[in-house]
Each structure stands twice: as C-alpha cells, then as structure tokens.
Chains A and B, each alone.
Chain A
Amino acid sequence: MTQIELRGVQKFFGAVQVIKDLNLKISDNEFIVLLGQSGCGKTTTLRAIAGLETIDEGDILIDGKPIQHLKAADRDIAMVFQSFSLYPHMSVYENIAFPLRATRKSKTEIDSEVRSVAKTLQITELLDRKPSALSGGDMQRVAIGRALVRRPKAMLMDEPIGALDAKLREEMRAEIKRLHIKQGSTTIYVTHDQIEAMSLADRIVIMHEGVLQQVGSPDEVYSRPANLFVAQFVGSPVMNVADAAVAETASSASVTVGGAAAGFEFPRALLSKLNGHAGSQLALGIRPEGVLIRHDAAEGFLPVETQIVEPLGSFDIVDLKVGSKMLRARTKSGFVGGPGEKVFARIDPAQAHFFDTASGKSLEVRL
C-alpha cells in the first residue's frame, strides 16, 4: 500500500516559480503520468518526490507521512532516469545489486533477488556485461531492474524511454505496461509524449508552466479537456481551435468560424447551454475526426475547398478553408483527391468543445 500526496507544493528556482501550488493524490498501485512540455515543472515535481530537489512550500506525503524533510536515501523510492544512469564501472549484476548493498542484506539474498529480477526482465544472460556493451533497450531493462530490485514503495520514471528510437520506444512502452500490471507498484512517470501518456497511464496529470491543468483518465483528458491548453496538447493531430460566433436561426443554432459567410449547424440546445456565456468570447474546439466531410451536398453541410492533403497511411489529414480559418479534418485515406477540391463539411456537435477565449477554460458544453 503506497499512497502519495502532494499538498500545496511550491518550488522556486531563484525568482522563477517552477511549481505553483500543486495538489495531487495518487492511490496505491496507480500508474500516473505527468505530461507537459519541457520546462513545465513535471521533472522538478518528480525530483521533489524522489528527494533530489527541495520544495519551498507545501507537503509531500507517502502513506500520510510527510517526507519532504527526509533524504532521498530514506524515502524508499526508486527512480529510472532518462539517461539510464547505469554505473559504467560496474557490471549489470553489480548495477542491479547496488541498491540492495545499501540495505546490508546477505550475499545469498542479494544474489537470489538480482537473479529473480533479471529473469523477470529477461536479462539474465547480460549480468556479466558492462553497461557500455548493452543496447539502448537492454540498458533500459537494467535501469528498470535496478529500480525494481529493492521493491520500493514507489517507482519514479523520468522520460525513461525518451532516448530510444521510435520502434524500440513502442516495444518498451508495452513492456513497462506489462511489468506494471505484473508487479503493481505505485508509479509516477514523466513524459512530454502524449501517446506514451495515453497508452500507459491510469490517470494523466497535465502541467503547464508549473500549474496543474487537468487530472483524469486518458479518455477524460482526450474527450473532455478542461481548457484550451489541454485540448491542444493532448491528441495528434491537434484539435482545431477557432474563434466562433453563435447565432440563432429558425430551427437551430449556427456557429460561424473564421468570419465565413455561413455557419455550421448545431442543435438548438447549444443556445441554452451557452446561456450565461453569451457575452464572452467563444472558441470552438473540434478534433479532426469531428470534422465530417462528403463529396456531395447534404443538409447541414457547408461547401468548402481543400487546401493541403497529408496522407498518413491509415488516414489522411485534409486542411479545409473555412472563411479565413483552416480546419483540419481526418478522412479515410485517398478520400480527397488533392488540393483545390470542392467538398462539403460539417462539425459533429457531439465532438465539439466550447472554450472561453479569455480564461481558456472549457464551458463544459456537451451536446
């Protein structure tokens, strides 16, 4: 049982505040991913939990006990670094045994534990090698082995697969997930790669400029982003965001984007849901898969012109000119012949998000 809680954590580097009043509860066995751009404070948060950085304000609690004044060595937390940080002068065996040696365990105990971890990670045949003789993926396995061997209260991972190439990254991602399911330890994982975050996390914590933006399951942060930052940071290709004007028509609501002549048709319910926000500047957010296009005219579809077509294998991304604005739509591959083609588009109201442009916050309008 390991619960980690951050309460009002603040951290300054000189005059720069890198963590701003961070509150977060992580439950036992949970896999939490801290996601954000570089410099958003995610790694500093992780290092603060590990005890490699001090915090200026607030509490870090493990199982209810404040640990911010404990040394890293006394926190019983393991960490995997982006650079792996395998000790170059030690063999793989010695690297994995190193944390156990700090606990003054007997030689036979250490040996059996090292070998059992090596077996789990399938690196038994590498035990005698020096880290310099390992491939990137094997280095990563050894680094994870070194973290696992002590059976720590929590595992911290700082972009552990960021240094690997794309294919290996995918393999290791699956391996980390498998391992987490098997070993089940509370894990905090830092990455700037939203695909990694989506595929690994039980819950994703999105940070921006030291401020926590949203905490939620991968599905939640994807389909119900709390603000414009999350909306545009999570998801690839990124969500379309455009200033929008909402008007009432005879039978429905109309949302005009980019000052286009005609607006997209929305259910009338939108008007009542937006009530109270009528005065605020609105932004419409729609993921490319929420922009529906067809070749022939149909009710509710606006005529638009295609600009750029990006074939991505399993699907295409098509840029559509709507007024002065460009909307990106996701289509079946080869659906659109090329640029300059006339097609008809509409926005799926169920997938539309409305944000207050001034505060960036989602208006939580769901249709």
Chain B
Amino acid sequence: MAAVRTSSEIGFNRVAIVAVLVVTIIFLAPIYWIASTAFKPRNLATTIPPTVVFQPEISPFVKLFTKRSQLRSPPTPEEYAAAPWWERVVFDGGEKIVRDGKGQVQWSGYPSRFLNSLIIAITSTVLAVGMGTFTAYGFSRFKVKGEADLLFFILSTRMLPPVVVAIPMFLMYRAVGLNDSHIGLIILYTAFNLSFSVWLMKGFMDEIPKEYEEAALVDGYTRMEAFFKIVLPEAATGIAATAVFCFITAWNEYAFALIMTNRRAQTAPPFIPSQVGSGLPDWTVIAAGTFLFLLPVAIFTFLLRNHLLRGMSFGAIRK
C-alpha cells in the first residue's frame, strides 16, 4: 500500500464513497418502504405525502396470519377486555378474527403458503446444486464425448424466457396430475436451476487442482471417497454461491407458481398479491407478508456472505 496519497486520489475516494452511498440508498429504498409499511397503521399506509414518523404497529402481522371479517357492531366492553392483545388490535381496525365452532382461531392462508415456499425452494435448491455438483465434477474431471455440445445443450434450456413454455407445461402437468403439487414445482424449479448450477459449478470444479484428488487416490482412497473428503470441502465456496442463486430464483419465482398452483402447493409470491383482491386493499398486510417473505433470503445470504464474496471473485484471484 502506498503510504502517500495524492489529492486527486483522495478526491476520487470521496466521489467513490458518495457513489456507493447513492447506489446503496437506491437499492435499500424499496426495502425500507416495505418494512415501514409493514409496521404502519392502515390509515397511514397510503397518505400523500408519505408518513415517515409514526407509532409502529404489529397489527398488520396479526392480520396477515389470521382470517378476519368485518365487525357489524363494535365488541362489547367485556368482549374487548377478555380478548388477548393481538385480537384487540384487530378490533381496533374494525374487524374481528374468525373462529370455528370450538372457538379456535382460523389461520389465514399465509403460513401454509410460506411453508410451501420453504419446502419447494429448499428441496429444489438441494436437488439442483447436488445434481449440478456431480455433473460438473464429471464434466471437469473425465473425458466426456461431445462435452462442448452437451454443455451447450444444458445451457440451451435457458435460452428462452421460461414463461414461454408455461401453457404447454401447464397442460402437461395437468395431464400427469402434477399441477398444484409440491413435487411438480420442485421438479420445475430444479430443472430451471440445473443448467445454471452445472455451469457455475463446472467453473468452480475446474479451479480445484486435480492433484488434490490424485494425492488422495495415492493415499489409499477411492475416487468417491476423494470426492467427498477432498473435492466437496474445496468446492464449499462454489456450492454456497450456487445455492444462494438457486434458492433466490426458486424462492422468488412467480409466473409458474401462479399458473401451476392454486391452493395446496401454492407458494407465497402468488398468494401475497391475491390478498389485495376483495374490498379496500390493506397495503399494510401485503407489506407485512412481503417483509416476512424477504427474511429467509436475507438470512440465507447473510449466513453465506463470506463464501458468496469469495465465490464472486473466484478464479480472478489466486489463493
């Protein structure tokens, strides 16, 4: 590092810092908007100009997770006093929580949709990254006849917008009974991500020197053992980076989830906007749903951030 910096370098640094701040603000603004709306009282969600300072509320989240109906008459003071705090915030909004005959709270569709999203995104990511890793290893280490053609063929599945095939896929899925099923979406997302996973992992595999495995082979291990004991730990960075991208793609997918599912296997993305449907839209509930929906990706990316950063610069920098 140069100990002395010229004034032009200092100037450039300042400009760079400002640029980074501006870009960060641009990227974070929608997230701030969603997060703040998720905690706003309903009447402040759509004010013009926007309300920036407000007393945060938890009611949008309560509403998100429960089935509600409009109050025809306000609750009696006894009813209000007997209700738990989270029911009172619903009463305050002029609604009541729907209960079944035994008095059990009726859950909204959101928790099951969220769970569907988790199951489908995680399973398809594991499958796509797992198969991608094995395939990439094969392409990287063995002489495969027509390797270039096969790799091109694998990539060609990404050469048109997926939604183009949505209708034929829907018809096929309906014919074989895969529509509105977890397994159907898992297969679909795995297929989407597989080509990407193979290509990305091939790059990472090519970077791992062959000598490591050869050393393990001479050290008395089989190729399979060498793969699991040496190659996989070395490929961890690549696997993490690939997994983040595959997970985000599967987690955020909207079009196919909208077309292929309607209830049992519906994921969160098509469900959240469907809540706008009846009556006056409650944007705070939609914002709460979106806010929670962002969290898994944020947590997953945060946990793998070191791998991800290294993964991005992999191949450019020699260890």
A binding-site residues for B, Cβ under 8 Å: 50-52, 71-73, 77-79, 81, 83, 85, 87-89, 98-99, 102-103, 132, 146, 150, 156
For residue B221, CB closer than 8 A to chain A, the reply is yes
B230 to chain A: which residues have CB within 8 Å? 87
CA distance A339 to B314 in the complex (A): 55
Contacts of A81 in B (CB 8 A): 211, 214-215
CA gap between A72 and B211 in the complex, in Å: 13
User: Could you tell me the distance between the alpha carbons of A103 and B233 in the complex, rounded to whole angstroms?
Assistant: 21
A88-B319 contact, Cβ under 8 Å, with A81-B211, A83-B209, A83-B211: yes
Q: Give 5 pairs: A residue, B residue, CB < 8 Å, sorted on A.
A: A52-B217, A73-B218, A87-B216, A89-B233, A102-B220
Q: Write out the residue numbers on chain A whose beta carbons fall within 8 Å of the beta carbon of B234.
A: 87-89
Q: Which of the listed residues B214, B230, B236 has the most CB atoms from chain A within 10 Å of its own CB?
A: B214
Interface residues of B in 203-257 (CB under 8 A from A): 209, 211-212, 214-222, 225, 230, 233-234, 236
A306 to B212, alpha carbons, bound, how many Å? 53
Question: Which residue of B209, B212, B214 contacts A52 across the interface (Cβ within 8 Å)?
Answer: B214
Residue of A nearest to B225 (CB): A102
- B residues at A contact (CB < 8 Å): 209, 211-212, 214-222, 225, 230, 233-234, 236, 319
Contact check, B220 vs A99: say whether CB atoms are below 8 A apart. Answer: yes
**Cα distance, A84 to B70, chains bound together (Å):** 73
CB contacts (< 8 Å) of B219 on chain A: these are: 73, 78, 98-99, 102, 146, 150
Q: Are A73 and B214 in contact (CB under 8 A)?
A: no
Give the chain B neighbours of A71 by CB distance below 8 A.
217, 222
List residues of chain A with CB within 8 A of the CB of B222.
Answer: 71, 73
* Among A52, A73, A78, A81: residue with most chain B CB under 10 A: A73
Which residues of B lie under 8 Å from residue A98 when comparing CB positions? 216, 219
A85 and B233 within 8 A (CB) = no
The answer to whether A52 and B218 have CB atoms under 8 Å apart is yes
Top 8 nearest A-B pairs (CB, nearest first) are A102-B220, A99-B219, A85-B211, A85-B215, A72-B217, A89-B233, A79-B218, A73-B220
* Contact indicator A85/B209 (Cβ below 8 Å): yes
CB within 8 Å for A77 and B319 given contacts A85-B209, A88-B234, A89-B234: no
Contacting pair A102 B214 (CB below 8 A):
no
User: Considering the chains assembled together, what is the distance between the CA atoms of A132 and B212 in angstroms?
Assistant: 14
Chain A residue with Cβ nearest B211 = A85
Q: How far is the CA of A88 from the CA of B216 in the complex (A)?
A: 13
Closest A residue to B209 by CB, please name it. Answer: A83
CB-based contact B218/A50 at 8 Å: yes
Q: Specify the chain A residue showing the minimal Cβ separation from B218.
A: A79
Closest chain A CB from B237 CB (angstroms): 11
Whether A78 lies near B212 (C-beta < 8 A) is no
Task: Tell me whether A77 and B212 are in contact in the complex, defined as CB-CB below 8 angstroms, given that A88-B234, A89-B233, A132-B319 are known contacts.
Answer: no
Distance in angstroms from A44 CB to nearest chain B CB is 13
Q: Which residues of chain B have C-beta atoms less than 8 A from A156's C-beta?
A: 218
In Å, the complex CA distance between A44 and B233 comes to: 28
Pick from B215, B234, B319 the residue with the most CB of A within 10 Å: B215
Shortest distance from the beta carbon of B11 to any chain A beta carbon, whole Å: 37
Q: Measured between alpha carbons, how far is A264 from B219 in the docked complex, in Å?
A: 58
Contact A72-B218, Cβ < 8 Å, known A81-B211, A89-B234: yes
User: Which residues of B have CB within 8 Å of A87?
Assistant: 212, 215-216, 230, 233-234
Query: A79–B218 Cα gap in the complex (Å)?
Result: 7
Q: Given that A83-B209, A85-B211, A89-B234 are contacting pairs, would A77 and B216 also be in contact in the complex, using a CB cutoff of 8 Å?
A: no
Closest to A82 in B: B211
- Of B212, B215, B218, which contacts A51 at CB under 8 A? B218
A297 to chain B, nearest CB (A): 61
A77 and B217 CA atoms in complex are apart in Å by: 10
Contact B220 A85 (CB under 8 A): no
- Separation of A102 and B236 alpha carbons in the complex (Å): 23
Contact A73:B215 (CB < 8 A) given known A87-B230, A89-B233: no
Complex: A72 Cα to B221 Cα, angstroms: 8
- Complex alpha-carbon distance, A51 and B220, angstroms: 11
Given contacts A88-B319, A89-B233, A89-B234, contact A73 B217 (CB under 8 A): yes
CB-CB under 8 A from B214, the residues of chain A are 50, 52, 72, 79, 81, 85
A72 to chain B, nearest CB (A): 4
A52 and B210 CA atoms in complex are apart in Å by 11
Additional pairs, 9, CB under 8 Å, beyond known A52-B218, A89-B233, A98-B216: A72-B217, A72-B218, A73-B217, A85-B212, A87-B233, A99-B219, A132-B319, A146-B215, A150-B220
B211 CB contacts on chain A under 8 angstroms = 81, 83, 85
How distant is the Cα of A76 from the Cα of B230 in the complex, in angstroms?
Answer: 20
CB distance from A110 to the nearest CB of B (A): 13
Tell me whether B215 and A79 are in contact (CB under 8 A). Answer: yes
Closest to B220 in A: A102
Q: B230 — nearest CB in chain A belongs to which residue? A: A87
B residues near A51, Cβ cutoff 8 Å: 217-218
Among B209, B211, B212, B218, the one with the most A-chain Cβ atoms within 10 Å of its Cβ is B218
Q: Which residues of A contact B209 (CB under 8 A)?
A: 83, 85
Q: Which residue of A lies closest to B232 (CB)?
A: A89
Q: Say how far A21's CB is from chain B's closest CB, in angstroms.
A: 25
Question: Considering residues A50, A52, A78, which has the most beta carbons from chain B within 10 angstroms of its beta carbon?
Answer: A52
Complex Cα spacing A89 to B212, Å: 11
> Nearest residue in B to A152 (C-beta to C-beta)?
B218
A290 to B221 Cα, complex, angstroms: 53
- In the bound complex, CA of A79 to CA of B220 (Å): 11
Chain B nearest Cβ from A137, distance in angstroms: 19
In angstroms, how far is the closest chain B Cβ from the Cβ of A77? Answer: 7
Cα distance A79–B225 in the bound complex, in angstroms: 18
In Å, the complex CA distance between A347 and B59 comes to 105
Report A-chain residues with C-beta under 8 Å of the C-beta of B212.
85, 87
A85 to B213, CA, bound (A): 9
Docked pose: A107 CA to B7 CA in angstroms: 61
Residues in A with CB closer than 8 Å to B225 are 102
Q: Which of B214, B220, B221, B234 has the most CB of A within 10 A?
A: B220
The complex places the Cα of A99 from the Cα of B218 at a distance, in Å, of: 8
